[in-house]
Amino acid sequence: MNSEDIKLIVKDKYSQIANKSNVLFKSSCCGTTGCCSTVDYSVFSENYEKLAGYNPDADLGLGCGIPTEFAGIREGDSVLDLGSGAGNDCFVARAIVGETGKVTGLDFTDAMLQKARENTRKLGFTNVEFVQGDIEDMPLPDNSYDVVLSNCVLNLVPDKAKAFAQIMRVLKPTGQFCVSDVVIKGNLPDALRKDAEMYAGCVSGAIDIDDYLRIIKKQGFKNITVHKLKEISIPTELLGNNITKEEIAGFQNGETGIFSITVSAHKN
């Protein structure tokens, strides 16, 4: 598939998710051509409930980390969240920036934007806004944000180099980003990747961790720091018959694997 086909699939799946109730979506897939009732996003997501600003209506259980935890957000900052969904990370960021800061969420799915704006209206925030746009070509001005966040979204972007180049462009000279994402380690066989996608979701589009960090460095970011790396374990009984014993062993002993990563870096 070309990049536009991938984006259409992602938009369609996330529209379906946005129109469902706020539960872990066990029947929706991220960016795949098919779905399976065994998909469980809880293997990636972390508990937000004790965080200031947490709003259950905005938590669709789709994250794979808590990027605000390592983002260095300060009161009064201007924060951008990429792939903001129903607004979960935006509202947590808003609790940190306070009344004097500003939080912007960027998403290209109409249904998600509608859900996020409705949540904002209910909360009565005047310094949180949601903008429609493509992460590879953000409709946002240069040098505008102190912090850029993203949570389990960039792996679904076809051109990750473009995405990080755009992050570099919109950050202020003193700005930084912190993203949580899904990456792989080693040569993950296609059959194993497919089984992983059907079990955990959001594996589609994930690239090797070394390539991921190399892209960030190539865009000119400094002080690249991996804060968390969490391996996703898939039960052996869920692995398909098309995977060899050697491939399963490599997956289980750490030679290959799927991870959620939280990484930050500075513009300068």
| Predicted TM-score (pTM) of this structure | 0.87
Under 8 Å between Cβ of 10 and 55: no
pLDDT of residue 241: 64
pLDDT of residue 65: 95
The residue type at 86: A
The ranges of the chain with pLDDT < 70 are 1, 21-43, 195, 197-202, 236-242, 254
Residue 239 lies in domain: 3-266
**Domain CATH number, residue 64:** 3.40.50.150
Reduced to 3 states, what is the DSSP secondary structure of residue 14?
A: helix
pLDDT in tens, 205-221: 889 999 999 999 999 99
In Å, the largest CA–CA distance within the chain is: 57
Query: Residue 228 has which token pair?
Result: 């968390």
Can you state the angle between helices 88-97 and 110-123, rounded to 10 degrees?
40
Q: What is the count of structural domains for the chain?
A: 1
Cβ atoms within 10 Å, residue 72:
14
Under 8 Å between Cβ of 9 and 32: yes
Q: Given strand 171-185, what is the order of strands in its sheet?
A: 128-132, 102-107, 78-82, 145-151, 171-185, 257-266, 222-232
pLDDT in tens, 119-171: 999 999 999 999 999 999 999 999 999 999 999 999 989 999 999 999 999 99
